[in-house]
Amino acid sequence: MTESPAHFADATLGAFTEALASRRSVPGGGAAAGSMLAHAAGLAEMVIAFSHGKKKFAAFESTLAEAAGRLQRIRETALELADEDARAFETLASLWPLAADDPRRIEAWPTAVEGAIEAPHRLVMNAAETVDLAARLVGRSSRLLRSDLAIAGRLAAVAAEAGCWNVEMNLDSLRGLDQGAARALTIENEVRAAIDRAVATAGRIDEACRLGGDQPITE
């Protein structure tokens, strides 16, 4: 197997999935979730690209442009978060073999735990936002791409659920930190609310697209 590039964004899809299948921890679920979110955002961007500049959607041009800009940033950020998640995991894993009273572990542990939660936490929130952006495109973009739009919404919702696993896997460690319990509860509630909304909204996108995709989704 060839050596993996420094950034997942620089890997070919074949090399990435080969590395994902190998007997090593990185890349793992966090990188897969980041890749999934990047795919979701990219699909939604494609829907906009085919709708941009068309007379039928002229009234929604500002909405489409704003969504395209945000989706591009999310797509790029998703792959950066895949890198960050991998680095955070490796940092935390390097401390696990050390005794709990080892000074090196005591000093580095709080930052390592926070780092292991931050990337997947951000990924969940970005994924939930992607679903919301996809929902805004229903009825405001080409119905010929409604299957791609529905897939984008569903992929983003699954990415949010996937990212949540890496948050939850480290919440007990966060609770063990000084004043960590309250922060853990806040993060847990935030990601669960974001996922519930994302899954429900993805379902609404599916339904609207199956009905033709020409009617906007109302709140």
Q: Convert the pLDDT of each residue in 40-89 to its tens digit.
A: 999 999 999 999 888 999 999 999 999 999 999 999 999 999 999 999 99
pLDDT band of residue 4 (cuts 50, 70, 90) is: low
**Paired tokens of 95:** 């401390």
**Total count of residues recorded for the chain:** 219
Q: Are 119 and 133 in contact (CB under 8 A)?
A: no
Q: Distances in Å between the alpha carbon of 89 and those of 10, 95, 155, 216? A: 20, 10, 24, 41
Q: What angle do CA 66, 125, 192 make, to 5 degrees?
A: 140
Token pair recorded at residue 142: 């080409």
State pLDDT tens for residues 165-214. Answer: 999 999 999 999 988 999 999 999 999 999 999 999 999 999 999 999 99
Domain spanning 24-210: CATH 1.20.120.680: yes
Indicate yes or no: pTM above 0.85.
yes
Domain boundaries defined on the chain: 24-210
Residue 2 has pLDDT above 70, yes or no: no
Tokens for 158, please give them.
């699954």
For 28, phi then psi, to 5°, come to -140, -145
Measuring CA to CA, how many Å separate 54 from each of 41, 47, 216?
21, 12, 17
